[in-house]
Amino acid sequence: MSTLPPLRALQVFEAVGRCGGVAEAARRLGISAGAVSQQMKLLEDTLGLSLLQKDGKRLRLTTIGRQYHESCAAAFESLRVAHAEIERSKNVRNLSVSALPSLLSKWLAARVMEWQAQYPELSVYLDGTHTEPSPEGYEIDFRISYGDRVADVENAIELFRDSVVPVCSPQLLHADASLATPADILAYPLIAVDWLPKFASPPSWRDWFEASKVDCATLPNPRHVFSLSSVAIQAAIDGHGFVLAQTSMICDDVAAGRLVVPFKYGLPLPWPYFLTWKKTAFDQPQCRSFHRWLLTRAKEQQQINDQMLQVPGEAAP
C-alpha cells in the first residue's frame, strides 16, 4: 500500500504554489525560507521527481508540479471548508447575511440592527458584495441579490421591486426658481448610475425624461457617473445634483429631510430583489426568525415604494 507524503510538506508545497515563491510562502506560514526549502526537498525526494525549476532568479512550478498543486490546493480547500463548518457548529447563535453593497448600506443594515435588538446574544455578520455565494457555501445563511441570475435559483423568494425617482438635497434647489415641470430638472447637474457589466443598469435619465414627455434634445451627458447607487445617492445628499434613485434606498433619507422628491414619476427596475438561503439555514431557530422578519419588512417596503410613486402621465393626487 502506497503512503502519502508528509502532510507538513504538502502544506508547504500548497503555500509555495499559491504564493508564487519560497519567500512569500515562508512569510505566510511564519517560518524561515530555509524551512520551506527543506520541506520542498523532502516532498520531491518522497515523490521522486522535481516540482520546482529555476526561471532566472526565481523558482516556478514544473508542468507536473502545477498539475499536482491543483489537486493539493483543492484538497486543502476542502479541509478549510470542513474546519470552518466545525467552528461554525460551535456557535449556532451566529447569523450571516450577504447583500449587494448599496442595498446593504442604504436599506438592510439599519433594519437588521432593529431585528438584532431582540436577540442581544446573537452575532450577525453582514457581507456587502456583488459576488454571489456558492449555493453549497458554508459561510452565508442568506443572500439578497437582484436580477435574472437568481430568478430560478432553488430556495429563493422575491422580496420587492424598486423604481427610480429623481431626488436631490433640499439645499440644491434654487431659492428663486421652482420646479413646475420635470423639464425644469434640466437646469441642474445630473448624477447617473451605471451598473454594467455586473447588472443591466437601472433606467437612465433619458428614459425618465422621455417617459415624462420631456424633449431630450438638449439633455447633457451626466458629469458624475457611479457604479454604486449608494455613492450616487450620497452625492445628491451632499448637494452635487439630481440622481435617479431607488425608492427603497432613499425612503429613510426622504423621511429625515436629507432628500426631496419633487416629482413622483417613477420607472421600475427590470428585476426585483430576491432572497436566497442555503439549504440547511432553517435548521437554526434564528434563521427561521430572520426569514419571517425580513419578508415582513420587504412587504412593508413594497407598500412604501408604491406610495412614493406616480406613474408618468397620471395626474398627481
Answer for the pair 169, 259: CB distance below 8 angstroms, yes or no.
yes
Residue pLDDT, tens place only, 242-299: 999 999 999 999 999 999 999 988 999 988 999 999 888 888 889 999 999 999 999 9
Residue pLDDT, tens place only, 115-154: 999 888 888 999 998 888 765 555 789 999 987 766 566 7
How far apart CA 49 and CA 249 sit, in angstroms, is 59
User: Of 172, 189, 183, which is closest to residue 243 (Cα–Cα)?
Assistant: 189
Return the CATH class of domain 94-160+271-301: alpha beta
Superfamily classification of domain 163-268: Periplasmic binding protein-like II (3.40.190.10)
Longest Cα pair distance anywhere in the chain, in angstroms?
90
Q: Using a CB cutoff of 8 Å and minimum separation of 24, what contacts does 37-42 make?
A: 39/6, 39/8, 39/9, 39/12, 39/13, 40/9, 40/12, 40/13, 40/16, 42/5, 42/6, 42/9
Measured in Å, how far apart are the chain's first and last C-alpha atoms? 83
What's the CATH code, domain 7-89?
1.10.10.10
Q: What is the mean pLDDT of the chain?
A: 86
Q: Which residue has the cell 470542513?
A: 82
- CATH 3.40.190.10 residue ranges in the chain? 94-160+271-301, 163-268
Strand partners for 156: 276
The set of cell numbers assigned to 314 is: 397620471
Answer for the pair 19, 25: CB distance below 8 angstroms, yes or no.
yes
How far apart CA 110 and CA 248 sit, in angstroms, is 13
- CATH 1.10.10.10 residue ranges in the chain? 7-89
Does pTM top 0.85 for this prediction?
no
